[in-house]
Amino acid sequence: MNAPLPSHHLPQIERRPLPAAMLEALQQRFGARCSTAMAVREQHGRDESPFDVPPPDVVVYCDSTEEVAAVVALAHEHAVPVIPYGAGSSLEGHLLAVQGGVSIDLTPMNRLLRVNPEDQTVTVQAGVTRKQLNDEIRHTGLFFPIDPGADASIGGMAATRASGTNAVRYGTMRENVLGLTVVTATGEVIHTGTRARKSSAGYDLTRLFVGSEGTLGVMTEVTLKLYPLPEAILAAVCHFPSVEAAVTTTIEIIQVGVPIARCELLDVNAIRAVNRHDKLDLREAPMLLMEFHGSPASVQEQADTVQQLALDHGGEAFQWATTPEERTRLWAARHHAYLSALQTKPGCRCVTTDTCVPISRLAECVTETMAEADASGLPYFVVGHVGDGNFHMGYLLDPNLPAERDTAERLSLQLVQRALRMEGTCTGEHGIGLHKMGFLVDEAGAGAVAMMRTLKQALDPKNIMNPGKIFAA
């Protein structure tokens, strides 16, 4: 088993110089939208990972596919790294400029380009965020269900193959991206996929780019599937005597075929944090936060079935969130769990995990992992999209204490080892980035990773597209 890359032991990677001629060309083309100001560079050189890396050399704000292509063509000419930037919410060091270079900020590309309600599709620029998208299409009676928690950009969500709270019913970005506009490593613009729901035409380039973490090209436009807004939505909270009881209930919910839309686990530590942060009064006991979508009759039938399963495992009677305001408050608290936990230990950093295992092994994986964390003495919290076998451990550490960092990385390693033994994955939705490169070899094998490298070299021979991510190069 390859160890992860410890956050305080980053290798010394040689940064590539930014030629003066390239900087001058960028400044002439983009004017004030090309910045070398330290504050701007630092903003674009930091995500939610525990790594500290020098910032990119320059930040360019792009407004169109053509502008992105112009930047990449210059970078290709001068062999300078390019790092796409969306909302900055990634957790595994995806946007860190480990070799220097240009950060392409796609946030100005925030327009909906085409909405087709009759086909339930939409095409957006990569800088559109998920909340913005749903606000702008609400009048159509449709919505985009992928919800990773943070108000991430659609381009970033596609790049990391994100999923989140609704994945148990609606799938991940992999299933919901129909087509892309991509700027390749040479500055060429290509289009993949169509608005049709299926195709057998050639290689599936859309799926190649979805999850590629910016290492093969810059996605500038994304065509997505949409879904009808449910006729009825019902949310409920249920507390359990133990995390194992809550997870076992979840397993049975899935195994009996209840089409639950959301099923989220919070442990005592997470609940304590969100109570304090969001001024809630949730009982401090392991909890499932669930949501049911459908017709009024089907929603009630789903809820009745799940409530009986919960009672069989010591769950309490459901506490219902019947109004949109109550549901919004609960889900906002769930999405704030990460930031809420950080505030319980001022000045801390967090090593997060996102393993995913076959649903039948979930209870075993979660309980063994929590036992290891308890024995370590390091503060932690557990949240999870447990309806699809995915859960997150957040290990809170003092960045000035190397021993705590070592403990967090050891616990992360042990968790991944356990997940792989159970035929799971080292990352269900965060991606590999900088942090999990060693784990990728353990999961996929040297032969598969070599094939990935071959694809990377073929599409990006100068290795300028987000270099040093997924695998060291």
Per-residue pLDDT at 450: 96
Contact 101, 83 (CB under 8 A): yes
In angstroms, rounded to a whole number, what is the distance separating the alpha carbons of residues 409 and 401?
13
Provide the 8-state DSSP code for 129: B
Query: Residue 155 is which amino acid?
Result: G
Residue 329: pLDDT band with limits 50, 70, 90: confident
Whether 244 and 321 share a structural domain: yes
Quote the pLDDT of residue 126.
98
The verdict on residue 296 lying in a domain is yes
The last residue of one of the domains, among 228, 255, 270, is 228
For the record, the structure tokens of 423 come out as: 């035929």
Residues 6+ apart with CB under 8 A from 402: 8
Name the nearest CA neighbour of 162 among 91, 221, 60. 91
Q: Indicate whether 175 belongs to any domain.
A: yes
pLDDT digit string, tens, across residues 362-372: 999 999 999 99
CB 224 within 8 A of CB 112: no
One domain for residues 125 and 192 = yes
Domain assignment present for 173:
yes
Report the chain's mean pLDDT, rounded to a whole number: 94
- Residue 94 belongs to a domain: no
Per-residue pLDDT at 10 exceeds 90: no
Structure confidence by residue, pLDDT tens digits, 14-51 = 889 999 999 999 999 999 999 999 999 999 999 888 88
Q: Judge whether 200 lies within some domain.
A: yes
pLDDT given at position 149: 81
Q: Does residue 245 share a domain with residue 209?
A: no
Domain of 263, CATH number, reads 3.30.70.2190
User: Distance of CA 119 to CAs 44, 140, 210, 384, Å?
Assistant: 37, 12, 22, 33
Residue 90 lies in a domain: no
Co-location of 248 and 222 in the same domain: no
- Percent of the chain topping pLDDT 70: 97
Tokens 């009825």, residue located:
232
- Its domain, for residue 286, covers 230-338
CATH code: domain of residue 140: 3.30.465.10
Contact 171, 224 (CB under 8 A): no
CA–CA distances in Å: residue 117 to residues 15, 137, 229, 277, 402? 47, 9, 12, 38, 53
φ/ψ of residue 122, rounded to 5: -145, 145
User: Which contiguous run of DSSP H or E holds residue 163?
Assistant: none
* Percent helix, percent strand, percent coil in the chain, to nearest 5: 40, 20, 40
In terms of domains, do 134 and 193 share one?
yes
**In this structure, is residue 415 part of a structural domain?**
no
What tens digit of pLDDT does each residue of 137-172 get?
999 999 999 999 889 999 999 999 999 999 999 999
CB 113 within 8 A of CB 123: yes
pLDDT at 473: 63
The CA–CA distances, whole Å, from 183 to 192, 205, 418, 424, 453 equal 11, 13, 38, 33, 19
Domain end position, chosen among 305, 338, 371 = 338
Q: Which residues of 15-28 are buried (b: 16+ CB within 10 A; e: fewer)?
A: bbebeeebbebbbe
105 Cα distance to chain centroid: 18
Report the alpha-carbon distance of residue 372 to residue 432 in Å, rounded: 23
| Number of Cβ atoms within 10 Å of the Cβ of 277 | 17
Co-location of 121 and 147 in the same domain: yes
Domain closes at, from 293, 321, 338: 338
Nearest Cα to Cα of residue 64 among 98, 111, 20, 19: 111
The answer to whether residues 292 and 233 touch, using CB atoms and an 8 Å cutoff, is: yes
In a domain, 204, yes or no: yes
Categorize the per-residue pLDDT at 472 as very low, low, confident or very high, splitting at 50, 70 and 90.
confident
**What is the tally of structural domains in the chain?**
2
Cβ-contact 44, 105 below 8 angstroms? yes
Residues with Cβ within 8 Å of 11's Cβ and at least 6 positions away in sequence, in order, are 5, 472
Whether residues 118 and 137 share a domain: the answer is yes
